[in-house]
């Protein structure tokens, strides 16, 4: 069903990168890194990206290209009840993620507008406080959600994808400029030490909280665990190497997140802000301060937040698409109706996160550290143990040798289930403790 919605031949890589690159790279990654102790988090995250994220991305690609369907269709075809459950997990994750993703998208809209009015130029932290919660946040959330729903319901996707073509180079260029500026600041050496030199003891003694957060971020930023990449892969032709395409996406996505850290931490340290203290606002506060101290900062800020807004829209679009397809498939309703009704419900569900940022954490940890990991685990078990021969066969088309594909299969069969099951256990324990402490 999703296939019909992708009428024209949109570059597959473009769509997949459009989904991957978003608020996860620029907002969520630096904020989690700051909260979880800097370099210790960065290195565990990178390990998850390479050893778990990349193989799981290939799992989703293999399912998508092989079955030629969206994720729910693929499960249906196989008539396996566990698969239907995986579809449900993915749709639920998407539902929750989009509800607060749109709130943060609303922040981006406000910062874009304020780049012209200069509203964040004064006290950056105070500005964040009034943009991120309350009426402003709810209104902006409604606008963002409306844009996403419009794109999904009325199919103005082509224009968006064309805009996305410019998005990745612009984001990289802007981040490089800002990172260069950050390097000149007084707090930069302290920031680099914090961000780049890990301490093994710190990693080991905090693994119980770092591992689920790093795994959740790896899945979130690569758009894994929900079947987004399954859908996109059903458009890849058989002569393309799935390994190569997956590698490209991982490298682009990870570089952008890494660069965002190089921008954010020098600014935080220079302003004397504890990297963990900024919380969800860290990036917005430090960037706003950066833009207001730069010559022509308002203009740079406007370009930056505009680009980030496009990045957020292409990601949000891919999330809503999963939820909408699930609902269409399960309840047999019309696309446009399903989209509009879901958009309203998701908007309402997101409202608490626009009132109190604690709710954002409650939603975010549950969806990423638990649901996405569970989704990835189920898909890996499926390819590893049920669909293994077809999986290897599919991967070798247009690409890697049989030996390499078999190596991948064993990682998917054994390493990933063990690591993800354990991470899921850690994540659930941590989440429970977090809930107890919060409520």
* Contacts to ligand PHE by CB under 6 A: 19-20, 22-25, 97, 220-221, 223, 226, 228, 315, 318-319
CA distance 111 to 218: 26
63/398 Cα distance (integer angstroms): 16
Our CB check for ligand PHE shows the closer of 223 and 270 to be: 223
Q: Which is nearer to ligand PHE, 102 or 114 (CB)?
A: 102
Residue 313 or residue 409: which is nearer to ligand PHE going by CB?
Answer: 313
Residue 226 CB, nearest distance to ligand PHE (Å)?
5
Task: Supply the minimum distance, in Å, between the C-beta of residue 225 and ligand PHE.
Answer: 7
* Min CB(396)–ligand PHE separation in Å: 27
DSSP reduced 3-state for 276 = coil
Assigned token pair, 405: 């594909």
Q: How far is the CB of 384 from ligand PHE (least distance, A)?
A: 22
Cα(280)–Cα(35) distance, integer angstroms: 9
Instruction: Give least dist CB 107 to ligand PHE, A.
Output: 13
In the bound complex, what is the minimum distance in angstroms from residue 222's beta carbon to ligand PHE?
6
| Nearest partner of 343 among 142, 67, 192, judged by Cα | 142
C-alpha span between 134 and 74 (Å, rounded): 42
Crossing angle between the packed helical segments 242-270 and 282-293, to the nearest 10 degrees: 70
| Residue with the CB atom nearest ligand PHE in the bound state | 24
Q: Whose Cβ is closer to ligand PHE: residue 195's or residue 232's?
A: 232
From residue 319, give the alpha-carbon distance in Å to each of 23, 39, 85, 322, 400: 13, 30, 18, 5, 30
Decide whether 15 or 210 has the Cβ nearer to ligand PHE.
Answer: 15
The residue (of 226 and 392) whose beta carbon lies closer to ligand PHE is 226
In contact, 69 and 237? CB cutoff 8 Å:
no
Residue 226 or residue 262: which is nearer to ligand PHE going by CB? 226
CB of 237 to ligand PHE, least distance (A): 23
Report helix angle 71-78 to 81-117, nearest 10.
180
| Cβ-based burial of 143 (10 A; exposed 0-12, middle 13-18, buried ≥19) | middle
Beta carbon nearer to ligand PHE, 103 or 409? 103
Separation CA 428–CA 354 (nearest Å): 25
Give the residue with the Cβ less far from ligand PHE, 289 or 323.
Answer: 323
Q: How far is the CB of 254 from ligand PHE (least distance, A)?
A: 11
Q: Is the dihedral of CA 80, 68, 216, 201 positive or negative?
A: positive
Triad 348, 318, 405: Cα angle to 5°: 140
The sign of the dihedral angle between the CA atoms of 118, 121, 125, 126 is negative
Q: To the nearest whole angstrom, how small is the minimum distance from the Cβ of residue 94 to ligand PHE?
A: 7
Supply φ then ψ for residue 123, to 5 degrees.
-90, 105
Query: Could you tell me the smallest distance in angstroms from the CB atom of residue 278 to ligand PHE?
Result: 19
Q: Could you tell me if 355 and 136 are in contact, meaning their C-beta atoms sit under 8 angstroms apart?
A: no
Angle at 51 between CA 248 and CA 322, to 5 degrees: 65
Beta-strand (E) ranges in 254-366? Answer: none
Tell me whether residue 153 or residue 229 sits nearer to ligand PHE (CB atom).
229
CB atoms within 10 A of CB 112: 19
Q: Among residues 268 and 322, whose Cβ is nearest to ligand PHE?
A: 322
In the complex with ligand PHE, the residue whose CB is nearer, 142 or 320, is 320
In the complex, the smallest distance separating the C-beta of residue 216 from ligand PHE, rounded to whole angstroms, is 10
244-to-39, 133, 239, 247, 249 alpha-carbon distances in Å: 28, 42, 12, 5, 9
Closest approach, Cβ 181 to ligand PHE, in A, equals 24
- The CB density around residue 197, as the number of other CB atoms within 10 Å, is 12
């Amino acid at each position: 069903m999703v296939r019909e919605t992708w009428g024209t031949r949109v570059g597959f890589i473009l769509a997949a990168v459009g989904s991957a690159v978003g608020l996860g790279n620029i907002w969520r990654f630096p904020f989690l890194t700051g909260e979880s102790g800097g370099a210790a988090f960065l290195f565990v995250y990178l390990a998850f990206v390479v050893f778990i994220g990349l193989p799981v991305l290939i799992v989703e690609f293999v399912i998508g290209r092989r079955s030629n369907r969206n994720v729910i269709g693929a499960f249906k075809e196989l008539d396996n009840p566990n698969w239907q459950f995986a579809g449900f997990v993915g749709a639920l994750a998407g539902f929750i993620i989009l509800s607060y993703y749109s709130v943060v998208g609303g922040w981006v809209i406000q910062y874009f507008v304020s780049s012209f009015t200069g509203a964040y130029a004064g006290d950056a932290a105070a500005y964040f406080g009034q943009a991120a919660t309350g009426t402003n946040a709810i209104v902006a959330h409604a606008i963002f959600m409306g844009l996403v729903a419009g794109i999904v319901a009325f199919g103005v996707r082509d224009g968006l994808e064309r805009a996305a073509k410019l998005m990745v180079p612009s984001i990289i260029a802007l981040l490089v400029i800002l990172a260069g500026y950050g390097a000149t600041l007084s707090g930069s050496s302290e920031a680099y030490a914090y961000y780049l030199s890990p301490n093994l003891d710190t990693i080991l003694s905090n693994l119980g909280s770092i591992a689920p957060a790093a795994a959740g971020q790896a899945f979130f930023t690569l758009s894994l665990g929900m079947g987004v990449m399954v859908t996109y892969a059903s458009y890849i032709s058989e002569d393309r190497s799935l390994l190569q395409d997956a590698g490209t996406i991982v490298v682009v996505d990870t570089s952008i997140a890494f660069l965002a850290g190089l921008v954010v931490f020098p600014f935080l340290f220079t302003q004397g802000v504890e990297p963990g203290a900024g919380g969800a606002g860290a990036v917005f506060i430090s960037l706003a301060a950066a833009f207001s101290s730069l010559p022509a900062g308002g203009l740079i800020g406007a370009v930056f937040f505009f680009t980030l807004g496009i990045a957020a829209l292409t990601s949000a679009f891919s999330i809503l698409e999963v939820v909408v397809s699930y609902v269409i498939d399960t309840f047999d309703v019309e696309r446009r109706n399903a989209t509009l009704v879901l958009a309203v419900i998701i908007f309402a569900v997101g409202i608490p996160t626009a009132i109190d940022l604690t709710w954002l954490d409650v939603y975010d940890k549950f969806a990423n550290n638990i649901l996405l990991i569970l989704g990835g685990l189920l898909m890996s078990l499926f390819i590893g143990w049920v669909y293994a021969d077809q999986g290897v066969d599919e991967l070798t088309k247009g690409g890697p040798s049989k030996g390499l594909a078999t190596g991948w299969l064993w990682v998917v069969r054994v390493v990933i289930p063990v690591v993800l099951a354990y991470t899921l256990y850690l994540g659930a324990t941590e989440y429970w403790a977090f809930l107890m402490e919060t409520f």
